[in-house]
Amino acid sequence: MAKMRGSIVVDAERCKGCEVCRVSCPTGTIGMAKEVNHKGYYFAYPENPDLCIGCANCAMVCPDGVITVYKTKI
Amino acid sequence: MIEATGIKNIIKPENLVYKKSSVMTDNVLSYCPGCGHGTANRILAEVIEEMGIQSKTIGVSPVGCSVLLYNFLDVDMQEAAHGRAPAVATAIKRLIPDSFVFTYQGDGDLAAIGTAETIHACNRGENILIIFVNNGIYGMTGGQMAPTTLPGMKSSTSPAGRDVKTMGNPLKMTEIVATLPGTYYVTRQSVHTPANVRKTKKAIRKAVEYQKLDRGTCFIEIVSNCNSGWKMTPVQANKWMEETMFPYYPLGDIKVPVEESVK
C-alpha cells in the first residue's frame, strides 16, 4: 500500500495556541512552540514533521484556519 | 510562517489538500482562542465556496459574538437588532428569492430575546437557514446565564449554579422548532472534533440544497464551547462539553425530510 506523507504549514502569527489541533492529530505531529508570536501565544508547529500523514484533521478543527495541509504518495 | 524541515518537497501547490477558504477575509478572527465560532465561520465559508454561491449569499447576524461574522465572511451581510435576525432574513428572502439567506445566531440571541422571531419564522416555514451556535452562556457580555445554561452550571449571574426552581429549565430550542410544521430539516451538530466538523459541514451543505428547492426552514444547532465564559482551557472546555452538554443536548438529526431527494 502506498504510504501517504503529509506536511503542514502553520501561520504562526495568526495562531492563538488553543491546542485543539494538537489533541486532534492522530500521529502526534503537532507540538506547541516554546517561544511566542507577537500576540503572546505559544503557537502550534509541526514538532515531528516526519509523522504527518496529511489527514487534515488539524486544519478541520482549527478555529482560526491557520493550518494549510499538503499530502503526497511516496 | 514556519515550514516542516526536510519535507519541503511535499509543500507544493499540486499536493495541497486543505487551505483556508477564499470566502474568508484576511482579517484575524477576533474570537477567543479555541472558540467554536471560528470553526463554524470557516466551514460556512467553505460550503459557500464549494457550492459557488458567494455572490448570491446574504447573511444576517444579530447581536453577540455571532455579529463578528461580517468581518470574516466575504459575502453580503446585514446586521439585525438583537434577536430579530429571522425576521430580517424573512424580508430579504421574500424580496430576493434567488438568494441564499442564512442567519447566524448565538443562544443568548436566538433562545432569549429572539424566541418569538425564531419560532414564528420557523412556523411560517420561511425558506431560510438558521444557524444556532449554542454555548450555554452569554459569551460576549461576560458569561452571564442564558436560557440554555445547564442546571447547576455556574455562570457570572448564577455563581452557585443554575437553580431550576427559581431560574427555570434550559430551553431546547432545536427540539421546539422541530415540532413546527414549517421546518424542513432540523439537526444538532458540534465542531469540536474533525469528525463532527465534517458532519456539520455536510448538514450546512444539505440545508443549502434544500433552500434551493424551496423546502422551508432549515435549522442547524451547533453545540459549541465558550472557554472564556466557562473559565477553562479550550481543550478542557471541549471535554467538558462532551461530558456535560451532550447528554442534555444530544447530537444528531432531529427532523429529517421524509423524501430524501437530495443526497
Task: Please answer yes or no on whether B11 and A70 come within 8 Å at the CB atom.
Answer: yes
Q: Which residues of B touch A11 (CB under 8 A)?
A: 1
Residues of A in contact with B233 (CB under 8 A): 19
> Which CATH number is associated with domain A4-73?
3.30.70.20
pLDDT, one tens digit per residue, over B91-146 is 999 999 999 999 999 998 999 999 999 999 999 999 999 999 999 999 889 889 99
CA distance A18 to A41: 9
pLDDT of residue B3: 47
Confidence of residue B221 (pLDDT cuts 50, 70, 90): very high
Q: Given CB atoms, is B192 within the 8 Å cutoff of chain A?
A: yes
> Could you state, in order of their start, the residue ranges of all structural domains in chain B?
29-255
* CA-based nearest distance B18→chain A, Å: 5
- In angstroms, the separation between the Cα of residue A5 and the nearest Cα of chain B is 8
Please tell me the pTM assigned to this model. Answer: 0.91
> What residue segments make up the domains of chain A, in order of their start?
4-73
Q: What is the DSSP letter of B28?
A: P
Please list, residue by residue across A34-46, b when 16 or more beta carbons sit within 10 angstroms of its beta carbon and e when fewer do: eeebeeebbbbbb
Q: What is the largest CA-CA distance in chain B?
A: 63
Is residue B258 predicted with pLDDT exceeding 80? no
ipTM of the complex: 0.91
pLDDT of residue B11: 85
The C-alpha atoms of residue B234 and residue A26 are separated, in whole angstroms, by: 18
Provide the residue count of chain B. Answer: 263
Contact residues, chain A, for B4 at CB < 8 Å: 7-9, 46, 49, 52
Per-residue pLDDT tens digits for B50-71 = 999 999 999 999 999 999 999 9
User: Taking a C-beta distance cutoff of 8 angstroms, is the pair B185, B130 a contact?
Assistant: no
Q: What is the mean pLDDT of residues B28-52?
A: 93
Question: B185 to each of B47, B133, B209, how far by Cα in Å?
Answer: 17, 16, 11
**B4 pLDDT higher than 50:** no
Which residues are CB-neighbours of B110 under 8 A, at least 6 positions away?
B83, B85, B118, B130, B132, B173
B4-26 mean pLDDT: 81
The residue with cell 495562531 is A15
**Closest Cα in chain A, distance from residue B120 (Å):** 32
Q: Where are the alpha helices (DSSP H) in chain B?
A: 36-50, 69-72, 85-95, 107-108, 115-124, 164-167, 173-178, 194-212, 227-230, 234-240, 246-248
Taking CA–CA distances from B29, the nearest residue in chain A reads A64
Task: Tell me if chain A has a CB within 8 Å of the CB of B33.
Answer: yes
Query: What topology is assigned to B29-255 in CATH?
Result: Rossmann fold (3.40.50)
pLDDT at A64: 92
Q: Is A11 on the interface with B (CB under 8 A)?
A: yes
* Residue ranges in chain A whose pLDDT is less than 50: none
